[in-house]
Amino acid sequence: MPAFFVTGTDTDIGKTTVAVALLQAAANQGHSTLGLKPIAAGCDMTAEGLRNADALALMAVSTSPKLIYEEINPIALPEACSPHIAARLANRRITIAQLSGYVRGSLSRRAHLTLVEGAGGWRVPLNDRELLSSLAKELNLPVILVVGLRLGCLNTAILTAEAILRDGLKLAGWVGNHLASDWPHAADNIATLTQLLPAPCLGILPWQPEASIVERSQALDLSALSLPVVN
C-alpha cells in the first residue's frame, strides 16, 4: 500500500498541518489512513507519558488501523530542539536502524495511505553520524515536500528537491502552505515553484489559521499519489 515520507523546506512551516490535511483528503475518498511521527522533540509530560502535539494530531486523523501512541511516535523527547541535541539531553542515542524498525512494524498494518512525517527539514542530524533523511532512504519511501510559502522559499524548495533526488528517492509531489496572510507576488512565486520543482503540486493551502481539517483537505488533489481504488 502507498506510503510516503513527509519533509519540509524548514522547521515550523506546516508539515503536520499538511500531513493531517492529506490524510483527511484520503479519508474523504474512503481510504484507510495512518500517520506516523517516528521521532518528535518538544514533547510534554502527561499522565500517560511524554506526548507530542504533532503526533497526537496525526493519531487523531488516522482512520485505520488504530495504533497506540507509542506506535505512532516511538521516540518522544522533551526538549524542543534538533533531534540529535534533544536525544543527547535525554541521555539517549537514536539510530536509523531503530527508527526504521519501528516504522516497518507500523507499515505492516497496510493502510491505503501511510504518511511518515520527519522532523525539521531534509538534512536534520539524528546523531553524530546519521541524518534523518537516511530514514526515508532506508525505507525507500517516495517523498512529499511541504513548502512554507514565504520570502526565500524558492531557494530552499529547489535545494531540498535536489537533495531528495540526489539521495536516489522519488519526489512524489509538493504542497505549498501559506505562512502569512500577505505574501507579495504570491501567484508569481507559486508559478515559479510549479515550473521548477520536478514533481506535481498536490495543492496550495491558503492562510486560514481557523480553517478546519476538512476545509484544508478540500484544497488538495491526491490523484498524483496513485492510491488504490476504493470499492
**Which residues are part of the catalytic machinery?**
37
Write out the DSSP string of the chain.
--EEEEEESSSSSSHHHHHHHHHHHHHHTT--EEEE-SEEESPEEETTEEE-HHHHHHHHH--SS---HHHH-SEEESS-S-HHHHHHHTT----HHHHHHHHHHHHTT--SEEEEEEEEESS-BSSSS-BTHHHHHHHT--EEEEEEESTTHHHHHHHHHHHHHHTT--EEEEEEEE-SS--TTHHHHHHHHHHHSSS-EEEEE-S-TT--HHHHHTTB--GGG-PPPP-
